[in-house]
Amino acid sequence: MFKGLVGLVTGGASGLGKATAELIIKQGGRVVICDLPSAPGANTAKALGENAAFAPVDVTSEKDIKNALQTTVDKFGRLDVAVNCAGIASAARTYNFKKDQPFDLELFRTTVEVNLVGTFNVIRLVAGLIGKNAPNADGQRGVIINTASIAAFDGQIGQAAYAASKAGVVGMTLAIARDLSKQGIRVVTIAPGLFRTPMMELLPEPAIKQLEASVPFPPRLGHPHEYALLVQSIIQNPMLNGETIRLDGSLRMQP
């Protein structure tokens, strides 16, 4: 299905990104895993074989992403699909009245910097390489897929920074799709609900079980592979563009 396709996945050493990289390889594609130097990206790529490579990056760094794109060209000669999975999350109320403390502004800045600015940094740089591809019969040169969160719409208590960062990803999706449309590059965002990943497992198991029970159907956490299946569908369907797709078992989060 993806024979000849070259993908780049940020946050590809863990969770949803790792599942996406695994699916691209399984479907006959090649993939560059971009993740922090401290992440197990090299081992993940090694386990996936010769069609996978690791590029250590901070998504907020122009230099790192340009180096990753050079690695992509050196190893695989092109780029067709970029998937932005890199992200961080935190929980703190806007004002903690018990401790008489406002939300830490550096935490807010860092959350937006990684999740929103980092995602845009990757988009604005991968677009240049994807745009060099010869167009297919439909005029398409490639696809960029971003990861928001249902927190962009249902932001829970303690999620102001995370919700703002993810709402920004949702908000820029259509504008970027329009910017890149003449070059035949589609841009789609996925807003996942609750998925069993290391990020989710930052919560204690009882809290995870409680969140899990809140999902109408199926009443469970999503499997990272199910996120990757939506990435596959987006790649395959040329009419998907400029939209954010919730992937959440019809969950609407309570405060």
Ligand X SMILES: C[C@@H](O)[C@H]1CC[C@H]2[C@@H]3CC[C@H]4CC(=O)CC[C@]4(C)[C@H]3CC[C@]12C
Point out which residues bind ligand X (CB under 6 A): 89-91, 149-151, 156, 193-194, 199-200, 202-203
Q: Which of 39, 41, 28, 47 is nearest to 71 (CA)?
A: 41
Residue 162 appears among annotated catalytic residues: yes
Of 141 and 212, which has the nearer Cβ to ligand NAD? 212
3-state SS, one letter per residue, for 173-194: HHHHHHHHHCCCEEEEEEEECC
Of 89 and 133, which has the nearer Cβ to ligand NAD? 89
Residue 91 interacting entry, from ligand NAD, ligand X, none, C-beta within 5 to 8 Å by type: ligand X
Q: CB 125 → ligand X: shortest distance, Å?
A: 25
Of 51 and 156, which has the nearer Cβ to ligand NAD? 156
Q: Which residues bind ligand NAD (CB under 6 A)?
A: 10-11, 13-17, 35-36, 39, 57-60, 85-89, 114, 118, 147, 149, 192, 194-195, 197-200
Residue 203 interacting entry, from ligand X, ligand NAD, none, C-beta within 5 to 8 Å by type: ligand X
For 86, the 3-state DSSP assignment is coil
Q: CB 117 → ligand NAD: shortest distance, Å?
A: 10
Of 59 and 215, which has the nearer Cβ to ligand X? 215
Catalytic residue among 162, 195, 241, 248: 162
Residue 107 interacting entry, from ligand X, ligand NAD, none, C-beta within 5 to 8 Å by type: none
Q: CB 24 → ligand X: shortest distance, Å?
A: 23
Q: What angle do CA 231, 123, 50 make, to 5 degrees?
A: 60
- Can you read off the two tokens belonging to residue 173? 């999706």
Residue 95 carries which DSSP code?
Answer: E
CA distance 232 to 216: 24
**Distances in whole angstroms, Cα of residue 39 to Cα of each of 57, 100, 101, 119, 223:** 10, 36, 32, 18, 21
Residue 198 interacting entry, from ligand NAD, ligand X, none, C-beta within 5 to 8 Å by type: ligand NAD
CA distance 246 to 233: 14
Residues ≥6 apart with Cβ < 8 Å to 182: none
Residue 113 carries which DSSP code?
Answer: I
Residues labelled as active-site residues = 162
